[in-house]
Amino acid sequence: MKRMVAALLCLLMLSACGGEKKSAYKPYEEVLDGYTPEEAKADGCVVFEDSDITSGQEIWDAFLAQTEAGKSGMVRLVNHYSLPAPQGYAPELYEEMKDSYPIIYVQDLSFDGKVYSLFSIEDGEEYSRTYEVLSRFEEAARNDTLRYTSVLRYVLVHDEAVTWEAIVQGMFSSQSGAFVDHWTVYSDYAYKNE
């Protein structure tokens, strides 16, 4: 029963968000400085900590169901990155890095029935990107040394025929024009200890 109520609330919240910047969330300007994962969770955002979803799965699922049905919707994504462990860094580099953490990125992902738009403000600059497709990619860990066994990603692309392999090859290719324009908006890792 609780899940059903939560799902209905999510759908209601998403249905109230029609336009690119129209939102049931706090105004964007209020969440730029000092926004914490706990506040984002309380605000009904989809929260990722160190690239892995930690809250808002029901909200994400409702957004997917709505957009896959061709209906407009909007969801706020909050990415929180904590300070990496000092091991593996030169002490001077770690001292230089530590004042930059935590890092939080807030993005509004919307769908107008035809295209996906991603809006964010970083260092006072507004960024807006549009993509035609939200693709789902699932892959097993590429080797046994990784902490996870598999990862599920949702990635914005321009062509539904694009594969994850093509995206990865394009990121590491030295050939001009090999890069595939994409933006990862969701990741869920399955860890070995789970």
The tens digit of pLDDT for each residue in 155-190 reads 999 999 999 999 999 888 777 778 999 999 999 999
For residue 98, the model assigns a pLDDT of 80
State mean pLDDT over 5-34: 55
Give 97-117 pLDDT, tens digit per residue: 888 888 889 999 999 999 999
The residue that leads in pLDDT, 5 or 23, is 23
Residue 21 is predicted with a pLDDT of 41
**64: pLDDT strictly greater than 80:** yes
pLDDT at res. 11:
38
- The mean pLDDT of 126-132, rounded to a whole number, is 95
Long-range (24+ apart) CB contacts under 8 A made by 147-153 are: 147/189, 147/191, 147/192, 148/189, 148/190, 148/191, 148/192, 149/190, 149/191, 149/192, 150/189, 150/190, 151/187, 151/188, 151/189, 151/190, 152/186, 152/187, 152/188, 152/190, 153/184, 153/186, 153/187, 153/188
Confidence of residue 44 (pLDDT cuts 50, 70, 90): very high
